[in-house]
Amino acid sequence: MTFVLTKNCEVQNMPQLEVARKHGAYASLEKLFARQPKDIIEEVKTSGLRGRGGAGFPTGMKWSFVPQNTGKPIYLVVNADESEPGTFKDRFLLERDPHLLIEGIIAASYAIGSHTAYVYFRGEFYRQWELFEKACAEARAAGLIGKNILGKGYDLEIYAHRGAGAYICGEETALLSSLEGGRGYPRIKPPFPAIEGLFACPTIVNNVETICAVPYIVREGGAGYRKFGTEKSSGTKLFSVCGHVKKPGVYEVPLGTPFKSFFKDYCGGTNGRPLKAVIVGGSSVPVLTAEQVMTMTLDYEAAQIAGTLLGSGGMIIVDDSVCAVEALADLARFYAHESCGQCTPCREGTGWSKKILDRLEAGRGEDSDISLLLQLADNMGGKTICTFADALAMPIRSWIKCFRTEFEDHLRLKTCPMKIGTLNSIRSS
């Protein structure tokens, strides 16, 4: 299999420029500078590449929104905030092949007419940031970053910035606020960053994985990229797999791969217990039951039909030892903790949901709790500045929908049924 993203991720010392170059890093630049920026955008459009940060917005189309005549600088901002529970695929690329990201940044910046790129690292990515800074220094010394790159007359500076550890700073406009030195509050859209982003200038925000796919597209053409994946979900995608799985890790597969074979062939199945549920695209997306997920293929359209989203590709495997109420309470705890607190429904709704779920799990629930939770999900979802509130509303709706009897059992038994049975069932397994 020809890999787009992870081809060199197992190469020893790949973050060193010399090693990277031996393995073809920066080979796309000759082709890049031989073409006009707008042709590169066309090529990316042809490739069908969609954003890998979660929303899946077509990348080439996003790039084409950048106005080229405002007289203001244009910025590229790479989103390396990766904080969604279950998601660690960008980390993999950052650790294994930072030069691929730099190469992608050069290509993307060139295409959109930017001469300044920022990479926003999640606060906890200290090692990854250090590695990236080192790679940048080497690339700069080799004339790959800075003035007149490779003598082609194109200038680009890259700055790495570390966040302070807030999930919300992965939301692109919160990221921009944070990058500007402000509080990580998402901004009302429109205006979209492509029109008015960083320092009120046209800005493209892309995920690490998205940018890392660009060198391949430059090298092999949009059509080359389309060799992978399906008609509407082209290319390959990283899935970071964690939870009750035999071989957790990061896997690159062509979009459209059936979940069933992916799970069996790549991940080795569960740890032995029956599969209960899968969150396929990071903690924010609706959960699927084992039956639902087994018939699904891993692409944007199939995910939608199955009632979920491909999201970031952070896959959480849940076996039958997990209590649905506890799992949802755990998710709610995360969202209550990470809500930026701007919008009333999100600020209050996430915290309230968490408290209700905690009491439900502890067996102290009230009869109306399930319907109350569903109402809160409706009262939060789609009524806020960013989609963070939906990121809890969707799990609430889906966990209750898929595992309603478990919620009802907690109310009826006034305790967690799993808790009564847990010790026995673990011993017996």
Partner 1 sequence: MTKLITLTIDGHPVEVPEGTTIFNAAKQLALEIPHFCYHPKLSIAGNCRLCQVEVEGARGPVISCRETVREGMVVRVNSEKAKQVRKDVLEFILINHPLDCPICDQSGECKLQDQYFNHSVQPSRMHLPKVHKPKAKPIGPQVMLDDERCVMCTRCIRFCDEIAGEHQLIMRERGDHSTIDVFPGKQLDHPYSLCTVDICPVGALTSSDFRFKKRVWFLNSTPSICTGCATGCNIWMDHHDRIVYRYRPRDNEAVNQCWLCDPGRMTYKAINAATRALFPMKLVGGAYQRLEWNDALSQVKEVLKSYKAADVVGVLSAQASNEENTAVKRFLEKTFPGLQLFWTGREAMPEFADKILRDADRNPNTHGVQALTTKRLDAQVKAKVLIVLGELTAQDLRLLMSIKPEVTIALADQLPHPEWAHYLLPRATHAEQDGTYVNRKGMEQQAKMAFPPKGESLSAVAIASKLMEIF
Nearer Cβ to ligand SF4, position 387 or 415?
A: 387
Q: Is 234 in the site for partner 1 (CB under 8 A)?
A: no
Nearer Cβ to partner 1, position 72 or 337?
A: 337
The footprint of ligand SF4 on this chain (CB under 6 A) covers a number of residues equal to 14
Interatomic CA distance for residues 86 and 281, integer angstroms: 8
DSSP assigned state of 248: -
Say how far residue 427 (Cα) sits from the centre of its chain: 37
389: partner contacted, choices partner 1, ligand SF4, ligand FMN, none (Cβ within 5-8 A by kind)? ligand SF4
Q: Which two tokens mark 19?
A: 């090693």
Closest CA relative to residue 253, chosen from 243, 265, 242: 265
CB of 187 to ligand SF4, least distance (A): 9
Interatomic CA distance for residues 51 and 54, integer angstroms: 7
> Which of 124, 133, 157, 348 touches partner 1 (CB under 8 A)?
348
> Which of 275, 336, 343, 416 touches ligand SF4 (CB under 6 A)?
343
Phi, psi of 152 (to 5 degrees): -95, 5
Q: Is 384 in the site for partner 1 (CB under 8 A)?
A: yes
Give every CB contact of residue 422 below 8 A, 6+ residues apart in sequence: 321
Residue nearest to ligand SF4 (CB): 346
CB of 111 to ligand FMN, least distance (A): 14
> Which of 343, 360, 393, 400 touches partner 1 (CB under 8 A)?
343
The footprint of partner 1 on this chain (CB under 8 A) covers a number of residues equal to 31
Do the beta carbons of residue 109 and residue 156 sit within 8 Å? yes
52: partner contacted, choices partner 1, ligand FMN, ligand SF4, none (Cβ within 5-8 A by kind)? ligand FMN
Interatomic CA distance for residues 158 and 140, integer angstroms: 9
Judged by CB under 6 A, the chain residues 368 through 387 that form the site for ligand FMN are: 386-387
Q: Is 82 in the site for ligand FMN (CB under 6 A)?
A: yes
Interatomic CA distance for residues 338 and 298, integer angstroms: 28
> Which of 386, 392, 402, 418 touches ligand SF4 (CB under 6 A)?
386
348: partner contacted, choices ligand SF4, ligand FMN, partner 1, none (Cβ within 5-8 A by kind)? partner 1
Do the beta carbons of residue 163 and residue 120 sit within 8 Å? yes
Do the beta carbons of residue 284 and residue 273 sit within 8 Å? no
- Identify the bridge partners of residue 251 per DSSP, sorted by sequence position: 239
Pairing of β 236-243 and β 314-319: parallel
Interatomic CA distance for residues 198 and 196, integer angstroms: 7
Task: Give me the residues that bind partner 1 (CB under 8 A), please.
Answer: 166, 168, 183, 188, 336-345, 347-352, 355-356, 359, 366, 368, 372, 379, 382-385
- Binding interface with ligand SF4 (CB under 6 A): 168, 186, 339-343, 346-347, 384-386, 388-389
